Amino acid sequence: MKCVKPKYFRDSKDEIKIMHDITKSDYNNKENIMHMYDFFIHKESEQRIMCMLFEVLGNDLMQLMKKFNYNGLPLPIVKKIAYDLLKALDYIHIRKKIIHTDLKPENILITSLNRNLRNIIECFKKINPNQILKDCIVESTPTDYNEYNKNKKKRIRKKIKEKSIEQFSKIMYDKVLIILKEEKKNNEKRNLEFKMKQKNDERQKELLQFNNHNIEEKLVNININDIEQYIENKSNNSDNNSDNNSDNNSDNDSDNSDTSFDNNLENKINNYNDSSNSDSDSSSYNNNEIDYEFNYDFDIDINNISIKISDFGNACWTDHHLSDGIQTRQYRCPENIIGIEYDTPSDIWSVACIIFELITGDYLFNPKKKYKGNKRELLRDREHIALMFETLGKMSRELSLHDNCYNSEDLFDNKGRIRGEHKKLEYWKLKNIFIEKYEIDDNCAQELIDFLLPMLEYDPKKRATAAEMLTHKWFDDLKSN
């Protein structure tokens, strides 16, 4: 349930119109859009609160990235998410003529419910709220109600309704609180079992043998180069001991080196054991453990993941815009920054930024400097445009200095250069970012930029549509499967 603050009550009416329009046409619930089931108005202290009821979905993509430690998701998963996302946009852009205007990982939800949600829903079903409400109405109704005349019954019905709802709310609150506490308790129990299994799991306990000493794989802090040196020194030492004609100094050097490394190795092991008992280390896991924890927390099949777009609170129609400023900063399209009227291509730009973030774990464009004063937003816009130029190349003068760009004079000089401190740019092409920063191989990086660049066209008229991107060769293997 989404409860809208009273000051946004009027805006929430537009959201309801949009959600109703989207939901009524998606009969089979296959368009990857979150469905709204109903809405009602709650009055409190002479204020009206709009309440909307939506289908229950799972975690958002930000939580999914968190479980991968913000190191990026596996490419097949990103591909499936991208396909579902573009499919949903094709539906709202073409058939509904609607622009979302605020696409970001937090507004994209996984359809599969995790274990916690499933348990809470099952417990809630056992409560039988309908029966509880009926019992409250019966208890709130006077025993001689049937003996009242029509006028008296009419007067007392409101009191019965208020009293029964108040009683129902208290009972449901207490019951839901018990369910949540019980689930939290069970969660802690499962977490303990998970940690114990984690320690005993054979995949996490490959043994390494050094000089007849077994060391568990969990000692990941030991440098592999040190291990190789240790083995080599042992081998050299064995050869030296077998060679009676070897130089004594050489033997001593080898022994000293061997002893020195033995001490270093022991110190590292002891340090690890000390740190593993501390509270601060209990939250740090290696990559396998993070993946294991992810399976525990989400308890879903990520290889068959499916998503839906949610939160149409800032959405609008293509022929009726509700706001001039749209999109969260990191996913904001250039036309909105320079002041061109936006349309459906603005969502496509956000999709490209989201896909980059899912692959790498980092924002594609993220102005970081903190500005003060009345011009702080303008200065951030300049930095944002500079980041785009450095990655995608400069914007054409025809676009940046266009008569319809109401921000162009504040952002650019008469040569199309960014005003202020951003005249000297440090170019780093998108392909090189994938290869050099994220160590993605050349072929894969080329495939990614072939897919992303059509969605990152500066000119919204030249930017690819959702329908065009759904036919891109990047999805060929996904369709074949």
* Per-residue tokens: 380: 């951030």
What pLDDT does 310 receive?
96
pLDDT band at 371 (very low <50, low <70, confident <90, very high): confident
pLDDT in tens, 68-117: 889 999 999 999 999 999 999 999 999 999 999 999 999 999 998 887 78
Of 132, 155, 131, 129, the closest CA to residue 142 belongs to: 155
pLDDT band at 232 (very low <50, low <70, confident <90, very high): low
> CATH number of the domain that 446 lies in?
1.10.510.10
Residues 244-267: what's their mean pLDDT? 46
Asked if residues 422 and 383 have their Cβ atoms less than 8 Å apart, the reply is yes
Cα separation, 35 vs 14, in Å, equals 15
What pLDDT does 225 receive?
52
Cα separation, 1 vs 381, in Å, equals 35
pLDDT band at 152 (very low <50, low <70, confident <90, very high): confident
DSSP 424: S
Residue 346 belongs to some domain of the structure: yes
What pLDDT does 298 receive?
56
Same domain, yes or no: 165 and 181:
yes
Q: Which residue has the higher pLDDT, 145 or 358?
A: 358
Same domain, yes or no: 426 and 358:
yes
Residue 250 belongs to some domain of the structure: yes
The mean predicted confidence, pLDDT, of the chain is 81
pLDDT band at 229 (very low <50, low <70, confident <90, very high): low
Domain that residue 269 falls in = 209-285
pLDDT at 219 over 50: no
User: Per mean pLDDT, which range of 112-126, 283-297, 407-421 is the poorest?
Assistant: 283-297
Residue 135 belongs to some domain of the structure: yes
Give helix 287-298 / helix 150-200 axis angle, nearest 10°: 150
Residue 40 belongs to some domain of the structure: yes
- pTM score, whole prediction: 0.75
What pLDDT does 171 receive?
92
What pLDDT does 250 receive?
44
Residue 294 belongs to some domain of the structure: no
pLDDT in tens, 390-426: 999 999 998 988 878 888 889 998 888 899 877 788 9
What pLDDT does 251 receive?
45
Same domain, yes or no: 98 and 122:
no
Asked if residues 216 and 195 have their Cβ atoms less than 8 Å apart, the reply is no
Residue 298 belongs to some domain of the structure: no
Cα separation, 273 vs 164, in Å, equals 60
What pLDDT does 461 receive?
95
Q: Domain tally for the chain?
A: 4
Last residue of a domain, one of 139, 170, 200: 200
Same domain, yes or no: 423 and 404:
yes
Residues 459-477: what's their mean pLDDT? 96
Of 423, 426, 424, 442, the closest CA to residue 434 belongs to: 442
pLDDT at 282 over 60: no
pLDDT at 227 over 50: no
Cα separation, 223 vs 29, in Å, equals 52
